[in-house]
Amino acid sequence: MLPAMFTMKCPSCRKTHVFIHRSMFPMNQLVELKEECEVCGQKFKSERNNGGGINYALTMILFFLNLCWYWPIFGLSYKDKSVWYYLLTSTVVVLIAQPYLMRLSRMIYLYLYVGFGNSRRVTIDEKKS
């Protein structure tokens, strides 16, 4: 499940890509989802599918992880400006990682609400009957 989620594959069949553009660029179309999966027919778009809260949580986790490597190497103290250097460094890291975090938050949202093998494509024979 985790490799499929990090490579942005369908949560139901884990075979096709979820986003229209596989690249992060152009940035204005970064999080545009396909309507449905070509293999299993799982619908990706919904009204509440924004992942904004998950994106906020991932950003805060990244700030904490930055603290875990920054503190042992450089140290933090309120007496000098090291706290401001940490905040500046963490902000730059989060801004660089933000496009990927936006996509990852969308994928986490999909994987939470769509189960593996949940949907199946309706064939032409099944539509007739």
pLDDT for residue 49:
55
What is the pTM assigned to this prediction?
0.75
pLDDT of 63 over the 70 cut: yes
Q: How far is CA 20 from the centre of its chain?
A: 14
Residue 22's nearest CA partner among 114, 116, 99 is 99
Cis peptide before 72 (omega within 30 of 0): no
Structure tokens at 126: 């099944």
pLDDT band at 91 (very low <50, low <70, confident <90, very high): very high
Percentage of the chain beyond pLDDT 90 is: 25
Residue labelled with tokens 């992060």: 24
Structure tokens at 93: 């890291």
CA 27 – CA 114 distance, rounded (Å)? 26
Q: Is residue 111 helix, strand or coil?
A: helix
pLDDT band at 123 (very low <50, low <70, confident <90, very high): very low
Contact by Cβ (8 Å): 91, 44: no
pLDDT, one tens digit per residue, over 13-42 is 888 888 888 877 788 888 888 888 888 888
